[in-house]
Every structure is written in structure tokens, then in C-alpha cells.
Amino acid sequence: MKLTPDGGDAVVSSAPGCPVAHGLPFSPFDDRITAAPWEWWAAARRDEPTFELSELELWYVTTYADTARVLTSTKEFSSKGGKFKPVDALPPALRDGYPSGHPGQDSMLMKDAPAHTRIRRLVNEALTPRAVASYEPRIREICNQLVDRFVADGECDLSREFATPLPLRVMTDLIGAPEDRDEEFLEWTKDFFVFYHGTPDPDPAMQRQIAERGRRVMGWMNDHIEQRRARPADDLVSRLVHATTPEGDPVLTNDEVLAVLSSFFTAGTETTMAFIPLLVRELLTSRDQLVALLADPTLIPYAVEEGLRYWSPARSTRRRVTADIRVGTTSIPAGATVHTSLMSANHDPEMFADPETFDILRANAKRHLAFGRGAHMCIGAGLSRLEARVAIETLLTRLPNLRMITEGRWESRLTIPRFTDFRVAWDM
């Protein structure tokens, strides 16, 4: 079975237990299913809540209760390993760009306690509620600068011109990278998905391009880490580099700092890039809710939570089963890779009444699992909520009578699909 970087050409045939709707077996790589997956997940929860997708050699867990259990049972469901070609098994041309392997292989997402706890505690310090609140003026400034660029045109591609540069700039700001590097970081982030979400099998020309980009980005990051080592500033990288144990030894190696930075890009940009246009689209197509929001902007945080529940931008998270185990009535063997379908959990009627309705006044929307749960729960949740809120406030204030021109386009991926080409217009 060959997974392509964006999954576009992968074929997944029906296996027993695989949910089917409209005659189509579920596949995470079918753009039609990615665009509106509800019926497949409803079929799974009804008929076989834990099922194996044998061609991808992974199992899906689909109910809210089972998903919460998997995410909080870290001994039975490890974040380490699992069925992906190890990201360090790179083709030779790529090894050029990543001589010690891709930093993603050391990501905190792929560690268990105690290694995970040690890193998480440090990163947490940069993302305390107070620290996150202090980023608001800068996020508002970025949003306004982006709108300034296209406001006079009367229309724009909201994905490309707003929702892509916003989280990217927030992230490069957070690590202290200059603005002229944004484009390169964006391409580099996309490269990561080639390793992480599919077989690293790009053609030779693409391999050379990825290797070259990897060399440049790794070079910049290593220099940056060394600079912060020599001259600390009040920022995330300095905090990571200078953290010491009670004995005075560094807590993190350079490679571990690199891994943290790379996990910020992969976990923190693509999710938000898809989420903001999806939330805008949902509001524009639920006119009465948009009117309520315009009348009372304090409802925006509620719309953000319901948007997270409804669209679950990280559709699933991955775990490795450490010993034979039962989930519901299904047995999963040791070593198997399990994906918790956050999307399905967030549409489980046992938890959310009338789950396929987008309702910004839903009383329990905040119980969604869009940020995961337990030890690995999204460390950037506060930051992404802030980005989404300020983004919506800015767009609704500065673009009067905002309306949709195109519906947007999906590019399927195993965990974080992309949502692009979403054009909107407004009155001038």
C-alpha cells in the first residue's frame, strides 16, 4: 500500500468492519469523504465502533468514551512508535538535508513519560494563560496587517491570504524568526507531512528540493539556538536552551530544542490554517448565527468552540497498543497502531445532542476533544483559541457584508487535512 504525501492517489478498499456510506468504503484519503465525513463515522459508531482499516494497518476508535479512554491510558496506548515508516529512514538524497534524521522523530508528540513530561513542563512555561494573553496585541496587529493587504480588492482567497500567513507569523514570532523566512518555513512544514503522513517516496527532484530546504532551515535553527545560548532573550528558544536541572545541567540538548520547534510548526500551523476558513465558512452559511454574533461579539469564543467540535481540524491522533487489549467489544493486538477519531468522538450523539448541527449556543461544546485529552492535550490550545477569536473579530469588523464566493477545496491527509481555495467577498 502506497501512501502519497497528500494521500490523493491512495486507494483504500473496503475491509470487513470498515464503515460504508453512499456505497463508498471509508478512506481518510478520499476528498469527498474528507469534505463531509459524518455518515461514515455515524455508521462506524453504530455498527463497529472500533474497526481496522487493514490496508493502512491501523485501527480507528470512534466513540467519545473510547477515544477519551485511549487518550488518557498512556500505559496501554503509547505515543512512541506506531506504524509509520520511521522518519529517520529517509531516502539518501533527503539524508543530506537531515544528517541526524528529521527533527520530527524526536517530537514531544511521540514521547511518553518521563521524557515527555520533562519537555512539556518547559514548553508550558512559554504558553501559560498569562503569556498567551500577552500575545493578543501582536496577533491583532498581524490580522490587521494581513487585511490591509487585500481590503481594497473587495475579495480574497481567505485561506491563502489570511489563514495561512497568520498562524505561520505567530509561530515564527514565537521562535524569533525574521518575517522574510515565513515562506520557507511554510514549505518546510509541508515537507514534514511527506515524512509523517505517508511513505517518504517523493521523486528525486522533489527529494533534492526538500533536502536543500531542510539544510537551510536546520542551519538557521541551529545558528539561532547557538545565538540564544550565547545571548539569551525573553523568548521560548532562550527558555528552552537555558533550562537547567537542579544540578545545573542543561535539561534539553540542541536536537531536543530543534524537535520542540519543529513540533510547533507541524502541530500549530496546519491545524489553525484549516480551522479559521472553516469557521468563517460555517458562520457564513448559518446566517442567523452570524447575525447573532454580529449583534453580540462576546459570542465569538462560543462559535470558536463549536467550530472546533464541528470540524476537528486534527481529525485523529495516533497511539501504539503496548499489550493485547479490548476496546469496547473489539480486541486489538499488541503493537497495533490506533487512531482515535477526534472528529467522530466530537459527533457522538451520546455526548453531543444533534451533533451534525452547527450551533454556537451549544451548552457543552467545550467538552469537545479537538485538542485531544490527557498528557498530550494540545499545548497550544489557548494560543489557537486566541488566534481564532481575534481573526473572526478582525474579519467581521473590517470586511462588511462578508460573503462566500467559493466553497473551498479539501486535500485529504491522514490526520490534518488541508482546506484551501476559500474565496470570500465584502462590500467596499
Which residues contact ligand HEM (rule: CB under 6 A)? 71, 79, 108-109, 120, 263-264, 267-268, 271-272, 275, 313-314, 317, 342, 370-372, 376, 378-380, 383-384
The one-character DSSP state at 400 is T
Q: Which is nearer to ligand HEM, 240 or 342 (CB)?
A: 342
Using CB positions, name the residue nearest to ligand HEM.
380
Phi, psi of 331 (to 5 degrees): -95, 135
Nearest CB to ligand HEM, comparing residues 109 and 156: 109
Give the phi and the psi of residue 52 in degrees, each rounded to 5.
-100, 135
Nearer to ligand HEM, 271 or 289 (CB): 271
Q: Which residues contact 205 (CB under 8 A, 6 or more apart)?
A: none
Name the minimum Å distance from CB 381 to ligand HEM.
7
User: Measured between alpha carbons, how far is residue 289 from residues 281, 308, 358, 413 in Å?
Assistant: 12, 16, 9, 30
**E strand residue ranges, 185-344:** 316-321, 325-327, 330-332, 337-341
Q: How far is the CB of 61 from ligand HEM (least distance, A)?
A: 13
Amino acid found at 287: R
Let me know the angle formed at the C-alpha of 331 by 330 and 336, rounded to the nearest 5 degrees.
120
Is the backbone peptide bond immediately before 355 cis, with ω within 30 degrees of 0? no
Rounded least distance, CB 59 to ligand HEM, Å: 15
Nearer to ligand HEM, 79 or 286 (CB): 79
CB of 185 to ligand HEM, least distance (A): 13
- We find the least distance from the C-beta atom of residue 301 to ligand HEM, in angstroms, to be 14
Closest approach of ligand HEM to the CB of residue 387, in Å: 7
Query: Quick one: which of 204, 193, 359 has its CA closest to 290?
Result: 359
Q: How far is the CB of 384 from ligand HEM (least distance, A)?
A: 4
Name the residue nearer to ligand HEM (CB basis): 320 or 376. Answer: 376
Measured distance CA(342)–CA(311) in Å, rounded: 10
Give whichever of 216 and 389 is closer to ligand HEM, judged by the CB atom: 389
Cα(367)–Cα(386) distance, rounded to whole angstroms?
Answer: 18
Nearer Cβ to ligand HEM (110/211) = 110
